[in-house]
Structure 1
Amino acid sequence: MGTAILAIATGTLKEALRSRLLWLLAALALGAVGLAGFLQAVLPAGSRATNTALLAALLRLAGTGMVGIFAVTALVREYGDKQVELMIALPYPRAAWLLGRLAGCGLLALLPAAVAGMLLAFASPPAQAALWAASLLGELWIVAAFAVFCTLTLQHALPSLCATAGFYLLARSVTALQVAGHGTGGDAGQRVIAAGTDALALLLPRLDAFARSEWLLYGTGTMADAGFVAGQSAIYVALLAACALFDLYRKEF
């Protein structure tokens, strides 16, 4: 089973590289650097800090979009080409195919995280840039796992991409929603909203605590932050992988 997982993961990574994702990653990185430099020239006040924060945000969005879109489209293509049925027919557990796919997406996520870390190391302390890049890697793993789970369930690109984007936006803003839900009002409607935001915060990963810009600007990242990110990544990747496995094993091909 281990050999099958490794072969599928390697094949997934090769598929990504054959689709010229490296060129896309280079273009996104250059575009992020250029846009951040342009905005730095337009907004000269606090330009260095602004440039670093904008560059980090753009690199995070680019990496998330690249990994999420590839995870969805590659799986939809496998369904369309009937490759899923072929892989399931091989004398390996279904889990080998799914875990191989997840591992391949995880390997792909190393590329944007490494590129982002190297670029930000020029504008911030290298240790903080490394922490930021490692945190981004955990974020990309969670997004990839959710994208695979959605695609297995929905089996169509557009709803899977929309669900993945919605999940990411909610996970990134859930703390702000929770604060807004616990407003000054104490009526029944406010309590219902507060309970709903608390439930969302309990279910969703705290992606707002991942890859924080203040780590790069003020050097505030600590080992406690790294431990929190590692714990959240392990929990949610394992949970999403278990949900995807459950969905895969209940299907009849």
Structure 2
Amino acid sequence: MNTAVRAIATGTLKEALRSRLLWLLAVLALAAVGLAGFLQAVVPAEGRATNTALLAALLRLAGAGIVATFAVTAIVREHADKQVEMLLALPYPRATWLLGRLAGCALLALLPAGVAGLLVAMAAPPAQAALWTVALLGELWIVAAFAVFCTLTLQHALPSLCATAGFYVLARSVTALQQAGHGALPDAGQRVIGAGTDLLAFVLPRLDAFARSDWLLYGTGTAADLGFVALQSLVYVALLAGAALFDLYRKEF
């Protein structure tokens, strides 16, 4: 089983590299650097800090987009080509295919996270850049696991990508939504909204606490932040993998 998982993970990574992913990473990295430099020139008041924050945000968004898009399209293509049925017909548990896919997406996430880390390291303290890179990697793993789960459930590329994008936006803004939900007026409607935002905050990962730009700007990242990121990544990747595995076993091929 371990051999099969490694083979599927390696095949997933090779598939990504054959699709000219490295060229896409290079183009997106250059575009992020260029756009951050342009915006710094337009708004020069903050100088280098503005450039670093914008670069980090753009690289984070680009990394999540690359990982989610590949995870979705690769599984949709496998379903269309009947490769999933062929792999599941082998004398291995269905979990082998799923774990191999997740492991391949985890390996793939190393590429955008590594490129982003190298770029921000040129404008931030090395220790803080390393912490930011590790946190970004955990964020990308959660996004990849959710994309795999959505694709197995919805089985179409566009709904899966939309659901993954919605998940990412909500997880990134859930703390702000929670604060807005608890307004100054404690009426019944406000309490309902507050309870709804509290439920969202309980269910969703706190991606706003991952790869924070203030770590790069002010050096505020600590070991406690790293521990929180590691715990959240472990819990949500495990939950999403379990949900995807349950959905996979209930299907009839």
TM-score (structure 2 length as normaliser): 0.99
* Distance (whole Å) between structure 2 residues aligned to residue 7 and residue 67 of structure 1: 20
Q: Is the counterpart of residue 241 in structure 1 residue 244 in structure 2?
A: no
Partner of 2:44: 44
RMSD value, Cα = 0.4
Match of 2:224 in 1: 224
C-alpha separation between the residues in 2 aligned to 1:194 and 1:40?
37
Cross-structure match for 1:88:
88
* Letter of the structure 2 residue corresponding to residue 198 of structure 1: D
Q: Is the counterpart of residue 143 in structure 1 residue 143 in structure 2?
A: yes
**Hey, what does 2:112 align to over in structure 1?**
112
Match of 2:114, as an amino acid? A
Runs of 4+ in 1 over 3 A off after TM superposition: none
Report deviation, 1:251: 0.5
Query: Structure 1 CA distance, aligned partners of 2:199 and 2:90?
Result: 41
What secondary structure sits across from 2:239 in the alignment? helix
Paired residue for 2:10?
Answer: 10
Whether 1:102 aligns to 2:134 is: no
Give the CA deviation at 1:39.
1.0
Residue aligning to 1:186: 186
The superposition leaves residues 70-126 of structure 1 with CA deviations (integer Å, 9 ceiling, x where unpaired) of: 000000000000111001100111000000000000000000101111111110001
Q: What is the CA–CA distance in structure 2 between the aligned matches of 1:121 and 1:170, rounded to whole Å?
A: 28
Number of equivalenced pairs: 253
Paired residue for 1:156? 156
Q: CA deviation at 1:43?
A: 1.2
Q: Secondary structure at the match of 1:112?
A: helix
Identity among equivalent pairs (%) = 82
Alpha-carbon displacement from aligned partner over 1:132-181 (angstroms, at most 9, x marks no partner): 01000000000000000000000000000000000000000000000000
Structure-to-structure mapping, 1:57-76, within 5 angstroms: 57-76=57-76
Over residues 32-69 of structure 1, what are the superposed CA-to-partner deviations in whole Å (9 max), with x where a residue is unaligned? Answer: 00111111111111110000000000000000000000
Q: Comparing 49-58 with 39-48, which one deviates more in the overlay?
A: 39-48
SS in 2 for 1:92: coil
Task: Please report how far the alpha carbon of residue 13 of structure 1 lies from its aligned counterpart in structure 2 after TM superposition.
Answer: 0.1
Gaps of at least 5 residues in structure 1 are none
Write the distance in 2 (CA, Å) between the matches of 1:144 and 1:165.
11
Structure 2 distance, partners of 1:143, 1:247, is 18
Q: Work out whether 1:174 is the aligned partner of 2:174.
A: yes
Which residue of structure 1 aligns with residue 215 of structure 2? 215
| Structure 2 CA distance for aligned equivalents of residues 5 and 169 of structure 1 | 31
